[in-house]
């Protein structure tokens, strides 16, 4: 089985952009690969954070992923800092990484502009830690959003450089982009994101979702109920595509919009119904898992142990190749 690795930061509550853009995809991929999914707390500390809030944020992320269907008994869902090999391999990779390459990374430039008072070495080194995450398990497939493609390219470069310098060790991984990598916010103006306050939360109830959805903009050409619209110009239609099955999607929704057969409110209600069919079971499952978190915690412990063993083998191989193994002639 090929190895899949991906990581997610413990950023609090997931929204449907995270779910349809990434997590739902991971849920089906976990059956096709040996899958590692890491909650990357070591990446999260490269920006200002509150230490007291970190354990809760990590737990919440793990429970949400499990609620979405990432099965911690089957998939190696684990917490990055519980596997020390990641930081160990990062140091090794640091010594073969040109400084200029890190300074040129788009995310580093963006984040150092955003956090001017805290441009720490960890922020610069972020892509090297990410490369270590993937390569320590000899990951081959890396499902990520478009914004992470540069980091995956960088990881390939690290693997090539290491292999050229110390001998063939690491595979060259590939990014796997989702079919719907860019989900717009409710405002229709920008990508859905917590900082823009334009999200539908994964754990929101029907009433909470409707309060936001009912006032969200649609195709601006549909001023009156009787005005025909263009589904392709409507943000809500792009949401329908995520959850509405055929023939309802093209007949009721698209055709209904074009002919003014249905109004925007009817259309939104249909979307709400289809969305909640997907979100209700996730929210219920989250409630069950959160009531007994020790079950998931046990699976995380077992997974961290497996990851430490897998990582340990790669570290040993790397040390041998680099002349760092315990091989004195005595």
Positions in the binding site for ligand TRP (CB under 6 A): 5-9, 40, 43, 130, 133-134, 142, 144, 148
Name every residue whose Cβ is closer than 8 Å to that of residue 292 and which is 6 or more positions away in sequence.
none
Distant-in-sequence contacts of 223-232, Cβ < 8 A, 24+ apart = 225/260, 225/263, 225/264, 226/260, 227/260, 228/257, 228/258, 228/259, 228/260, 229/257, 229/258, 229/260, 229/264, 230/257, 230/258, 231/257, 231/258
Q: What is the dihedral of CA 182, 183, 185, 191, to 10 degrees?
A: -10
Tokens representing residue 188 in the block: 């229709």
Residue 145 corresponds to which tokens in the numbers above? Answer: 């959003």
- 3 state DSSP class of 258: helix
Nearer to ligand TRP, 152 or 257 (CB): 152
Catalytic annotation on 111?
A: yes
CA gap 212, 198 in Å, rounded: 9
Name the active-site residue from 109, 138, 194, 241. 194
Least CB distance from residue 133 to ligand TRP, whole Å?
4
Nearer to ligand TRP by Cβ, of 134 and 257: the residue is: 134
Does residue 268 carry a catalytic annotation? no
Provide the minimum distance between the beta carbon of 213 and ligand TRP in the complex, in angstroms, as a whole number. Answer: 27
**For ligand TRP, which residue has the nearest CB?**
7
> Which one, 130 or 198, has the nearer CB to ligand TRP?
130
CB of 287 to ligand TRP, least distance (A): 27
Q: Rounded to the nearest whole angstrom, what is the least distance from the CB of residue 297 to ligand TRP in the complex?
A: 22
Close Cβ partners of 203 (under 8 Å, ≥ 6 residues apart):
13, 14, 64, 279, 282, 283, 286
How many Å apart are CA 294 and CA 56, to the nearest integer? Answer: 14
CA dist., res. 63 & res. 287, Å (int): 9
**Do 143 and 4 contact (CB within 8 A), yes or no?**
yes
The count of other CB atoms within 10 Å of the CB of residue 49 is: 13
CB nearer ligand TRP, residue 9 or residue 180: 9
CB 322 to ligand TRP: min, Å: 23
* Residue (155 or 244) nearer to ligand TRP, CB: 155
Total residues found in the chain within this entry: 330
Q: Give the closest residue to 178 by CA, choosing from 210, 221, 149, 150.
A: 149
The residue among 141 and 209 lying less far from ligand TRP, judged by its C-beta, is 141
CB of 170 to ligand TRP, least distance (A): 14
Identify which of residues 42 and 267 has a Cβ nearer to ligand TRP in the complex. 42
- The Cα 74–Cα 293 span in angstroms is 17
Catalytic one of 2, 111, 277, 329: 111
Nearest distance from C-beta of residue 147 to ligand TRP, angstroms = 7
Q: Which residue numbers are catalytic?
A: 111, 191, 194
């Amino acid at each position: 089985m090929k190895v899949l690795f991906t990581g997610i930061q413990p950023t609090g509550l997931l929204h449907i952009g995270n779910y349809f853009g990434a997590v739902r995809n991971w849920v089906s991929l976990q059956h096709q690969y040996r899958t590692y999914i890491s909650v990357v707390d070591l990446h999260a500390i490269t920006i200002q954070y509150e230490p007291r809030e970190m354990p809760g944020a990590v737990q919440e992320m793990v429970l949400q992923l499990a609620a979405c269907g990432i099965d911690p008994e089957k998939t190696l869902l684990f917490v990055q800092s519980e596997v020390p090999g990641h930081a160990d391999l990062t140091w090794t990779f640091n010594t073969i990484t040109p400084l200029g390459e890190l300074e040129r990374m788009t995310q580093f430039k963006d984040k150092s502009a955003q956090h001017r008072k805290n441009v720490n070495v960890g922020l610069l080194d972020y892509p090297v830690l990410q490369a270590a995450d993937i390569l320590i398990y000899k990951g081959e497939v890396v499902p990520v959003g478009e914004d992470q493609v540069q980091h995956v390219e960088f990881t390939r470069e690290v693997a090539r450089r290491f292999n050229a310098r110390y001998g063939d060790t690491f595979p060259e991984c590939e990014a796997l982009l989702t079919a719907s990598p860019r989900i717009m916010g409710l405002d229709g103006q920008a990508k859905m994101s917590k900082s823009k306050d334009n999200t539908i939360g994964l754990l929101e109830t029907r009433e909470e979702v409707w309060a936001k959805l009912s006032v969200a903009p649609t195709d601006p050409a549909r001023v009156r109920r009787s005005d025909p619209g263009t589904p392709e110009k409507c943000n809500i239609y792009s949401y329908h595509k995520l959850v509405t099955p055929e023939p309802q999607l093209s007949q009721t929704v698209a055709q209904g919009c074009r002919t003014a057969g249905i109004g925007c409110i009817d259309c939104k209600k249909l979307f709400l119904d289809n969305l909640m069919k997907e979100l209700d079971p996730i929210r219920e499952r989250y409630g069950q898992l959160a009531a007994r978190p020790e079950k998931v915690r046990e699976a995380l412990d077992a997974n961290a142990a497996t990851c430490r063993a897998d990582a340990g083998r790669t570290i040993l191989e790397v040390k041998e190749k680099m002349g760092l193994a315990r091989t004195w002639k005595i």
